Amino acid sequence: MTRSNPRLTLALSLALPLATALLAASAPGARADDDLAERGKALSRQHCARCHVVAPDDRMTGISSTPSFMILVEALDDWRERFATFHARLPHPAHLRFEGDAERPDTQPATIAEVILRYEDVEAIVAYAERLHGE
């Protein structure tokens, strides 16, 4: 006859979530990925939020004709590719360059504030998009 031992059941029901939590906390790279995504979020708020809504808790920023980051990562199958190459996609080349690139000629309209990124910033922004996609 099998009668479940309540103490054993309790111990098991606690052990599994605990083990999962410990594993998640010690998974190599988990912490680093999270830091990268956080940096991507900060960069997005700083550089992208004047056009895009970049986070679910920032609905009042951005301009409505520009797709939100949440829409982009949900609606597009190739969102990862698009985030990795956004800097080459219109309209971004008009206001963005990388550190070390030649300065723009002064023919730029003065109304567009220029954004200067580093290449590794794109990696952080993709990590942030990845986190948004998972939410």
Nearer to ligand HEC, 17 or 129 (CB): 129
Q: What's the min distance (Å) between Cβ of 110 and ligand HEC?
A: 14
Q: Which DSSP helix (H) or strand (E) runs through 69? A: helix 69-75
Distance CA 94, CA 103 (A): 12
> Which positions lie near ligand HEC, rule CB under 6 A?
44, 47-48, 50-52, 66-67, 72, 82-83, 86, 89-92, 95, 125
Nearer to ligand HEC, 20 or 93 (CB): 93
Burial of 19 (0-12, 13-18, 19+ CB in 10 A): exposed
Query: CB-wise, 16 or 60, nearer to ligand HEC?
Result: 60
